[in-house]
Amino acid sequence: MAACQQSPGPLCHRNPENSLFTQKYLRRTPLVQAAAFAIGMLLPAANAGALWKDKLEVFVSEAITHDDNVFRLSDAADPATTIGSSSTADTYTTTTAGLRFDVPVSRQRFLGELGWYHNNYNRFSEFDFTGNNARALWQWQAGNRLSGQLGYTQRKALSSLSNVQSGVQSTTANPVHKQDGYFNAAYMMTPRWRLKGELIDSRSSNTVPEFQVNDINIDGTGLGVSYVSPAENEIGVNMRVADAELPFPQLVAGTPVDNAYEQRNVDLVTSWTITGHSRLNARLGRVDRNYDQFPERNFDDTTYHAAYEWRATGKLRLTAEAQRDISLYEEVNTGFVFLRGVALRPAFDLTPKITISGALEHNNMEYLGDAGLVLGTVQPRTDRMRVYALNVSYRALRHVLVEAALRREDRASSDPFGDYEVNIVSLTGGIRF
C-alpha cells in the first residue's frame, strides 16, 4: 500500500511514447540492441521447448515510460529554480534482462533470480542508471516435521524522489544498495501445533555522501507458535525483536545524533480460508520502538494489517486491504512513517490472453522519529496519498507478454512543498523462455 514499492527506476514506475521516440532509443541504447539480439538468437530455443526442462527461465523486456513530474515537485515550487528547467516531465526507456531458476532436488528446492536493468532518460540524463537484483533461496526439509528457508536477496536501485527527509526534498540521483539474509525453521510439535523461529540480517547503504546518514543495519530474531487445522488454516502468536544501527550520526542543530533503536513486535496472526472462494490473512498486535538517544521520540502503538482475497468468479478476483503500521517502503531511515491506509485491487480476465487489473489506495502518513522534531529543526508533518492505477496485459504467445499501465498519485502534505501530483503512462513488451 505504499506509493512506491518495487519498481526499478528512481521514480518507481514506467511509462510510454510514440514510435519515432522508440526508434530513437533503439538506435542509441546498447542494452536495447543487445536485448533485441538476444531475442533473435534465443527465439528458436523458446520454440523448441523450455530451457533445462522448465527449471530455468530467461527473460528480456523493454519499457517506454512518460512521467509528467519526475522530481515529484509541489505546485508551489518553481521548477526553473529547483531543477533548472521549466518542465518537470520526461520520457525514458527501461531495458531489463535476466534469468530465474527453480530446481527441486529430492525433498529440497533451490530457487533464484539474477537480473539487470538500465534506465535511459531523454532530458534528465543524470538519472540514467544501470541497476541489478539477485535472489537465492533454499527451501529445505529435514524429515517429516522440520522444514524452513535459507535465503539472500540484494538490490541496487536509485532511491525514490517522493519523500522529504529532515525537511529537505531530494533532487539527486542516489543509488542505494540493499542486502537481506534470512533463515527460518518450522517444527511440527504435534500434528496441529507448529513452532517457528527466524533470524534476519538487513543492510542498506547510500552512495551519495549527504544521504549516508540514512545507512542502516538491522539484526532481528523472531519466534512464533500457531495452531494448524487439517485444512491448513492457521492462527497463532508471533514475537520479533530487531536491533537497528545507523553507522553515520545525524547532525541536528550542531548536535550529532545516534539514531540506533530497538523495536519489538507482538502479533496475533491468522491465515484462514473462509469459503472456497475467499481467504483472510490478518495480523493484529503492538509495536514498541525505543531510541538510544532522545527517548522523547520513542513510539508505542497498536498495529494491524488485513488482506481479504475473494475470487468472485473464475475470471474476477478482488483483494481488499487495511493497514495501520510503520511503513516498510518509505525511505526515511533517520525517522519513520506511521501509515494508516486502505486499498482495493480488482483483476478481471477478459479473455484467456487479456487481463485487466487496477488499484485504488488511500493512505494517511505521519512522519515520526526524526531527532529534528525533538530539537525543533523539523516541523511535524502529515501527508495524505491517493493512488489510482490501471494495468492491461496481453499474452500474445506463451512466452510473449505486452503490458500497458496508467498510474496517478495525488499527495497532500502539511509541509509547504511536500505535496505533488504525477501521472505515469507505460508500455512494456517482454519475452521469456
pTM across the whole model: 0.83
Indicate the pLDDT class of residue 17, thresholds 50, 70 and 90. Answer: very low
Q: Specify the DSSP element, H or E, that contains 39.
A: helix 30-48
More confident residue, 26 or 125: 125
How far, in Å, CA of 278 to CA of 318, rounded?
A: 9
Over the stretch 31-75, which tens digit does the pLDDT of each residue have? 444 444 444 444 444 443 456 777 899 999 999 999 999 999 988
Query: With 80 as the cut, is the pLDDT of residue 180 above it?
Result: yes
Could you give the C-alpha distances from 313 to 66, 318, 319, 353, 391, in angstroms and in order? 35, 10, 13, 17, 20
**What's the DSSP call for residue 171?**
-
Q: Which of 257, 232, 235 is nearest to 246 (CA)?
A: 257
pLDDT at 396: 86
Could you give the C-alpha distances from 280 to 214, 285, 324, in angstroms and in order? 35, 16, 17
For the 19-432 domain, the top CATH level (class) is mainly beta
Looking at the chain, the whole-number percentage of residues with pLDDT higher than 90 is: 69
* Long-range contacts, stretch 388-395, CB < 8 angstroms, 24+ apart: 388/358, 388/359, 388/360, 389/358, 389/359, 389/360, 390/356, 390/357, 390/358, 391/356, 391/357, 391/358, 392/354, 392/355, 392/356, 393/354, 393/355, 393/357, 394/353, 394/354, 395/353, 395/354
Query: With 50 as the cut, is the pLDDT of residue 363 above it?
Result: yes
Which distant-in-sequence residues (6+ apart) come within 8 Å of 368 by Cβ?
Answer: 297, 299, 335, 336, 337, 338
Over the stretch 402-421, which tens digit does the pLDDT of each residue have? 999 999 999 999 988 889 99
- Backbone Cα Rg of the chain: 23
SS3 (DSSP) at 276: coil
Per-domain residue ranges for the chain?
19-432
Q: Which sign, positive or negative, has the C-alpha torsion 48, 52, 54, 57?
A: negative
